[in-house]
Structure formats: structure tokens, C-alpha cells
Amino acid sequence: MLDVENIRKQFPILSRKVYGHDLIYLDNAASAQVPRSVIDAITHTYAKHHANVHRGVHCLSQEATAEQELTRREVAAWIGATDAAEIIFTRGTTEGINLVASCITRDMRPGDEIVLTVMEHHSNIVPWQLAAKQRGLVIKVVPINADGSLDMDALRALVCDRTRVVAVTHVSNVLGTVNPVAEIAGIAHDHGALCLVDGAQGAPHYKIDVAAMGCDFYVFSGHKIYGPTGVGVLWGRRELLEQMPPYQGGGEMIDHVLLPEGTTFAELPFKFEAGTPDYASIPALREAIRFIDSVGIDAIEAHETALYRHITARIAAELPQVRIFGTTPGKCPVLSFLIGDAHSYDTGVLLDKLGIAVRTGHHCAQPLMQVLGVPGTVRASMAVYNTMDEADRFVDALVRIAPILS
Ligand SMILES: *Cc1c(COP(=O)(O)O)cnc(C)c1O
């Protein structure tokens, strides 16, 4: 069992009140709260060694650089990458996917195919659409089964020798479905295609091992793993990153600049890190990873799943009018639901008045909403610091507001 009370003490925001109620924060899939160590790491940078990285001969710049590069090595180890140069710091998952979609499609030919799934976040749809439009590529979409699992037979049928990339989410931010990404990467490779995995919802809950997964790119965001906003990670296989052209041009990413042409580019990972990185947040990302490791990712996931099971068991017993979206066995503890025909927004507003933070709407997954046949859902997503008492108070609140909504 986790010592949740002790863990909660590390998160300053959890002691605040909302409209006079104790805050119950169940919007973790959008952004998780941050422990004191992460806040302190940011403050520490500004107070102790604030200076731009890489170009400095002076002490502060060297310290800032060392902090950033130590973080890169720790991130690599954390996701099972052997080579720290394969870790590219980005602004987040979105930027990582845009980078890959922009760079790996430049040598594609009209008619080449990209396979996505209908459960993707807009971040793993729109960058591919932009590239497809530019290059005349064709996008194919894998459907889902009734329980929210991916239709793997359809995926096998869609991936063919024209497929150049299969881009799939590790975990659905709406349904909680955990996709068989190793198997999907294998299918992609059997057809000579690449596989990108959107790890924004995978990294907060599961041990990531990119080598075992066998994918070519894995991306995630700091703010969903108890870390700072403004920083994310793109991991890519070295030989692919080396072949890819740069994404953005600017300082830090060059080897030698010549006018009017002839500029050469820096080695990995700097080739993909144009401009000044968020060197204040990057060391704080390391503290987020250390926090997760100090608790243990398996213990975190087990705790969240216990909360999820408790909530869904009570809903089944007490709230027959609640519809839950995503019921695959072994799913990630993300609860998407609607109370009868009530609009998700109304439910969210009433919960907010009771100090309960949930997310409502389409969750940046409009194609999925279309398949589910609803404009949006209410989403309650768990984290390590949520308690059984909060789970009960959440269901109590649903029981209280359900009659108002119908
Ligand atoms: C949040 C999320 C993203 C986008 O992450 P950003 O940090 O906003 O770039 C992409 N995919 C999934 C599955 C997400 O949950």
C-alpha cells in the first residue's frame, strides 16, 4: 500500500480550497500537479545558475549545461534508451509529433500512406494531415471495437507495403485503452514502415522501455508526469534521427553557418534543438522522474487502478444512468462518462462548485467523439495522490448532482 498521505504532503497545491471545499483534483490526464522538488528545481535554476546553456565559457553557463545534460542521461535511462543523444528536448508531445511528421515525410511520395487510429489525440492527427496535404500522402484510419479496444484485424488489413508510418497512441486519453504498441510496431516493420508512439498518457502510468517496445519514436510531455510545463521528450532511433533533415533552424543546432549557403548542422541531439531550450524546466523534469521512481511506477498504477475500480463499482451499484466509455480489460484508470443525457459541461460545472476538478468536452479527440456518438464526455483521471476518500466524495457528488441534471 502507498503512503498516500505522505505523498500528498509533497504537493503544495493539494492543501488549497476551492469554493470552500478541499480540492479534489481529477484532471490529471490534462496536467498532473507537481511535487515540491519540481518547484524547487525551477527556483534553484533561477536563483543559483541561471545562464544560457552550451555557449558559455563561464561557470554559471557550464553548470546550467551540466544540469541539462544530466537530465538528458536520466531521461534516456528512464525509458530504456541506451544513447542519450537520442533524447530530444521539445516543448511537449505536440511539438515532438510535429517534428517527426514534418521531417520523416519530406522524402515521401504522393500516394504513400500514413496509418492512424480513430482514438488519436488531435496532436497525433493534425501534424500528419498537414504533411499529407503538402506531399500528397494518404491517411488511413484504424477503427475501434465496442469496448474501446483497437480493431487489430483492421489494423493488419490497413498496413501494407505503401504504408510509411504507423502513428498510434500508447494509451487513449479518453478511453484509457492500452494499445499493444509492441505488436503494432512489429506489424509496421514487417511492411517496411516506421512506428511512432504517442506516449503522453503512457509515460505517467507505465514503465517505458523503448527497446522492448520496438517502436521508432516515442514522445511525451513533462506536465503529465508530475513535471514542469514547457518541456517534453522525443526519443527516436539514432539512425533515423541522423537521416532526418533538421526541423527548425537557428542557434544551437548548427555546426558551421555560411552565407549565402553551405551551412552544416550540429550532431545529435542538438541538430533538433534550435534556439534556447527551456533550461529552467529541463532539470525539473529530472526531479519529476525521480519522484515517480521514489514511489514506483507499478505502485502508482496499482493505486490508481484500485481507485478506478472502487469508483466504477459504486457507479454500477448506485448510478445506473451513468454511461462509461472505454471498458477494455487492463485499461488505464481514466474514467470517461456521461450522466444520462446531461451535457458534459453541466456536470463539470456542478462538480467544480463542489471543489472537484474534472475535464469536459471532446478532449482533443473529436474523431473519437464522432464514433462514440457524443459531443463530449466528462473525464475523471486519477494520479498517485488521489485518495479513497476523494474517490468516495467524487461518487457522492455524482449521486447528489444526478437528479439535478436529469
Ligand atoms: C495531452 C496529450 C497530447 C498533447 O500533449 P501536449 O503536452 O499538449 O503537447 C497528445 N497526446 C495525448 C494522448 C495526450 O493525452
- 371 pLDDT exceeds 90? yes
- pLDDT score at 401: 97
pLDDT band of residue 316 (cuts 50, 70, 90) is very high
Mutate to test the pocket of ligand 1, among 27, 201, 362 (most ligand atoms within 8 A of CB): 201
- 32 pLDDT exceeds 80? yes
Output Rg (C-alpha) for the chain, integer angstroms: 22
Atom of ligand 1 nearest to the CA of 363: 15
Q: Contact at 8 Å (CB) between 131 and 102?
A: yes
CA of 61 to the centre of ligand 1 (A): 31
* pLDDT tens digit sequence for 224-264: 999 999 999 999 999 999 999 999 999 999 999 999 999 99
Residues with CB under 6 A from ligand 1: 92-94, 121, 123-124, 169, 173, 198, 200-201, 221
pLDDT band of residue 1 (cuts 50, 70, 90) is confident
* pLDDT tens digit sequence for 188-207: 999 999 999 999 999 999 99
Residues recognised as catalytic = 364
- pLDDT score at 64: 94
pLDDT band of residue 56 (cuts 50, 70, 90) is confident
Determine if the pTM surpasses 0.85.
yes
- Mean pLDDT score across all residues of the chain: 97
CA of 124 to the centre of ligand 1 (A): 8
Atom of ligand 1 nearest to the CA of 120: 13
Which amino acid residue places its CA nearest to atom 8 of ligand 1? 94
CA of 133 to the centre of ligand 1 (A): 22
CA of 98 to the centre of ligand 1 (A): 12
Question: Do you know the residue count of the chain?
Answer: 406
* pLDDT tens digit sequence for 80-127: 999 999 999 999 999 999 999 999 999 999 999 999 999 999 999 999
- pLDDT score at 379: 98
